[in-house]
Chains A and B, each alone.
Chain A
């Protein structure tokens, strides 16, 4: 991994954020909403409307409005929310923190379930465990988040009364309560990922198990456990890093629905609220922050891959 490769990746993040910013700005400009009317209400006088249009610079050329918005956004200033009147940037970043907590927990839970499951399926290829994993994978990728969430909430919260159905508790204030409230959303988010990743781990492990160095390890007389854990697992897990990074994209999309259903004030729910209220600054900030998070996650995965796999040389 050379410095110029890292620089190129950083440039790519910047380009990504640029394209996304144009996309987000373009889409929100096309929204059938007049910012001045949204702010002051339908009954505002013409003078008041004009005054606020003047203040917001709504009469300026569109490219100038874009540059002004990007310039402010780069310093973390996304303007004031049309709904609450509060600065959007800090609000969205707090929300992002809650979402990341949910996302990281979901990825951890997924890894703990999916990796052993995928390896078990590969080792027992064609046997019952393999078919069960295949079935779980098919079912997992075939249930959209809102269905999984609704069914899980129905079973674990309404029928069995084990977990609270909705709400968010900060882990800093009440750790146990936070865990209980996060359990359902995390479970929902990780199920689809488990389906994805278990399948991937299975096929990668199968490839590795048929390779020469595994044959060599077995012929050396190493115990099967050592062969699997020391030789197969490490090599099978490499490509999984990339898949997990791609799944962060799914996760960020899925979080919109999951947070909406479980009433978690994360960035997904903030965005839904903003879309419903046609709160332009919040929509822009939310969409840009989410996309940038994804771009950064992808780059981190590439770097991790390069660090883990010494055979790959980026230059």
Chain B
């Protein structure tokens, strides 16, 4: 693990990604204490106050401190995206590995069905699911997880197919182990590396998708300071205060960049073949 971390730090993408991730984690863990102001405190004299000493990132339409809202909002954005990715990855990994193990007609049927589900554009599927489950952050999280699962299943299956031919899987079959033992104990642990890389990159999609759902009014609900919601609320005040749009936009982009870089860094670090 420390070895992986060291190799990750040696790639430029990995290093920058890790630093950005550290900043985000700090915001999630200590956001309320780091925030210079109360994120909910309104100040009608300070409406649309520009960037300056009093409000570093300016103040919004209610005179609330934008920086404080961003810091506290990290909590309602990032953990949701992580949970959605984790849930979708686990579900997808199990289905993908099982499909590769079963092979033959089962594999064909499962994969064609997954292809079909993937023919529904991601945002559309998430939108339909949220409208069924009801608006809200938790339901948006579940919808994103369901949206991600088919893609993860496809990736996992591709890897699992190569694992399936390995001697240790054959020997487990000959030993007479049950299907679930072979899938969960023999195959799954050995497909994890590429799946983790894929999942890391997916977190950036999850962040964007979650923010988009919130932007459309289906995800996090006011007065939460979820970043997508902050952009949606700020749109009416473009003329008065562009910074209340720019600040949360950049926060979303920074998070997405962090996980994209981290994923690329992991890919390099986990591929010992490329080491020179």
Residue among A12, A24, A151 making CB contact with B245, cutoff 8 Å? A151
**What residue of chain A has the Cβ atom nearest to residue B217's Cβ?**
A276
Provide the A138-171 mask, 1 if CB < 8 A to any CB of B, else 0.
1101111111001101100010000000000000
Task: State whether A291 touches B119 (Cβ < 8 A).
Answer: yes
**What residue of chain A has the Cβ atom nearest to residue B147's Cβ?**
A253
CA distance A252 to B256 in the complex (A): 21
A36 at the interface (CB under 8 A from B): no
Task: State whether A27 touches B238 (Cβ < 8 A).
Answer: no
B162 at the interface (CB under 8 A from A): no
B242 at the interface (CB under 8 A from A): yes
CA distance A15 to B116 in the complex (A): 7
CA distance A254 to B215 in the complex (A): 13
Task: State whether B235 touches A253 (Cβ < 8 A).
Answer: no
CA distance A271 to B127 in the complex (A): 10
A257 at the interface (CB under 8 A from B): yes
Task: State whether B116 touches A139 (Cβ < 8 A).
Answer: no
Task: State whether B216 touches A294 (Cβ < 8 A).
Answer: no
Chain B hits for A27, CB < 8 A: 128-129, 132
Chain B hits for A298, CB < 8 A: 119
Residue among A20, A138, A146, A254 making CB contact with B119, cutoff 8 Å? A20
B124 at the interface (CB under 8 A from A): yes
Size class of the B contact interface (CB-based, 8 Å)? 35 or more
CA distance A143 to B67 in the complex (A): 20
Task: State whether B215 touches A142 (Cβ < 8 A).
Answer: no
Task: State whether A30 touches B132 (Cβ < 8 A).
Answer: yes
Which residues between 205 and 228 of chain B lie within 8 Å of chain A, taking CB atoms? Answer: 208-209, 211-212, 215-216, 228
Which residues between 1 and 60 of chain A lie within 8 Å of chain B, taking CB atoms? Answer: 12, 15-16, 18-20, 23-24, 27-28, 30-32
Chain B hits for A287, CB < 8 A: 120, 124, 128
Interface of A: prevailing SS: helix
Chain B hits for A257, CB < 8 A: 123, 212, 215-216
Task: State whether B119 touches A16 (Cβ < 8 A).
Answer: yes
**What residue of chain B has the Cβ atom nearest to residue A286's Cβ?**
B124
**What residue of chain A has the Cβ atom nearest to residue B258's Cβ?**
A142
CA distance A298 to B129 in the complex (A): 24
Closest chain A CB from B135 CB (angstroms): 10
Chain A hits for B134, CB < 8 A: 32
Given the interface contacts A31-B131, A154-B242, A294-B119, does A143 sit within 8 Å of B256 by beta carbon? yes
Closest chain B CB from A104 CB (angstroms): 16
Which residues between 35 and 81 of chain B lie within 8 Å of chain A, taking CB atoms? Answer: none
Closest chain A CB from B48 CB (angstroms): 15
Chain B hits for A153, CB < 8 A: 238
Task: State whether A275 touches B112 (Cβ < 8 A).
Answer: no
Residue among B118, B228, B257 making CB contact with A138, cutoff 8 Å? B257
A256 at the interface (CB under 8 A from B): yes
Closest chain A CB from B9 CB (angstroms): 19
Task: State whether B215 touches A253 (Cβ < 8 A).
Answer: no
A290 at the interface (CB under 8 A from B): yes
Provide the B126-151 mask, 1 if CB < 8 A to any CB of A, else 0.
01110110100000000000000000
Residue among B117, B121, B204, B216 making CB contact with A260, cutoff 8 Å? B216
Closest chain A CB from B199 CB (angstroms): 16
Chain A hits for B121, CB < 8 A: 249-250, 252-253, 290-291, 294
A272 at the interface (CB under 8 A from B): yes
Which of B113, B122, B128, B211 gathers the greatest number of chain A CB atoms within 10 Å?
B128
A194 at the interface (CB under 8 A from B): no
Task: State whether A253 touches B124 (Cβ < 8 A).
Answer: yes
Residue among A20, A142, A253 making CB contact with B122, cutoff 8 Å? A253
**What residue of chain A has the Cβ atom nearest to residue B249's Cβ?**
A147
B239 at the interface (CB under 8 A from A): yes
Chain B hits for A244, CB < 8 A: none
B159 at the interface (CB under 8 A from A): no
A110 at the interface (CB under 8 A from B): no
Chain B hits for A144, CB < 8 A: 208-209, 211-212, 228, 252, 256
Given the interface contacts A15-B112, A32-B134, A145-B212, does A24 sit within 8 Å of B253 by beta carbon? no
Provide the A268-280 mask, 1 if CB < 8 A to any CB of B, else 0.
0001100100100
Task: State whether A158 touches B238 (Cβ < 8 A).
Answer: yes
Chain A hits for B254, CB < 8 A: 142
Considering the complex of A and B, which 10 residue pairs feature the smallest CB-CB distances, nearest first? A253-B123, A19-B116, A253-B121, A144-B208, A142-B256, A16-B116, A252-B121, A147-B249, A142-B257, A295-B119
Known: A154-B245, A294-B121. 11 other contacts (CB 8 A): A15-B116, A142-B208, A142-B260, A147-B231, A147-B249, A150-B235, A249-B121, A256-B123, A272-B127, A291-B119, A294-B120
Binding site for A on B (CB under 8 A): 112-113, 115-124, 127-129, 131-132, 134, 204, 208-209, 211-212, 215-216, 228, 231-232, 235, 238-239, 242, 245-246, 249, 252-254, 256-257, 260-261
Binding site for B on A (CB under 8 A): 12, 15-16, 18-20, 23-24, 27-28, 30-32, 138-139, 141-147, 150-151, 153-154, 158, 249-250, 252-254, 256-257, 260, 271-272, 275, 278, 283, 287, 290-291, 294-295, 298
